[in-house]
Amino acid sequence: MGEHQRDSEWNVAEWHGKMLVDRNGEKIGKLQDVYVDVENDEPQFGTVKEGFIGRHLTFVPLGGISVGPDDLQVAVSKEQVKDAPNIEQHGDELSQADESVLYHHYELNYTPPNTESGRRLARR
């Protein structure tokens, strides 16, 4: 994989505006925001600026991401991203219901954290 690194010390600040590509190298779009797990601060999802549909946010899971000099390669396919549920933009936070739907779409385990809001994701 050459310069791609897997490193637990993510420098998420540097990810903004990088191109996301799917596991086959197909371009998905530029990364806009990163949402991290509130319990361990690990990046869970990113949103893509060029949403496939207007004002909806397109969420891409960042688990298993591989960081290159110019792009970020995610572990899912562009088709999965296109089929992802459309989430309306309501400020910075996702509702717990939206989170649950997202996790299920990408076949990720979802357990609501034990916090007041019950939400797992926070925008960075």
Checking if the pLDDT of 1 tops 50, the result is: no
CA distance 4 to 91: 33
Task: Provide the 3-class DSSP secondary structure of residue 96.
Answer: helix
Band of the pLDDT at 13, cuts 50, 70, 90? confident
In degrees rounded to 5, what are phi and psi of residue 90?
Answer: -125, 85
Who wins on pLDDT, 10 or 94? 94
Q: Could you state, in order of their start, the residue ranges of all structural domains in the chain?
A: 13-123
Distance between CA atoms of residues 4 and 35, nearest Å: 21
Q: Is the whole model's pTM more than 0.85, yes or no?
A: no
Q: Which two tokens stand for residue 123?
A: 């925008």
Q: Is the pLDDT of residue 2 over 50?
A: no
pLDDT of the residue at 92: 65
List the beta bridge partners of residue 59: 47
Each residue of 30-78: pLDDT tens digit?
999 999 998 898 999 999 875 555 666 789 999 999 999 889 999 999 9
What are the backbone dihedrals phi and psi of residue 40, each rounded to the nearest 5 degrees, phi first? Answer: -130, 5
- Tokens at residue 31, please? 């990364």
List strand residue ranges (DSSP E) for the chain, in order: 19-21, 27-37, 43-48, 58-61, 66-67, 71-73, 121-123
Question: What is 13-123's CATH topology?
Answer: Photosynthetic Reaction Center; Chain H, domain 2 (3.90.50)
pLDDT digit string, tens, across residues 75-94: 999 999 999 987 876 666 78
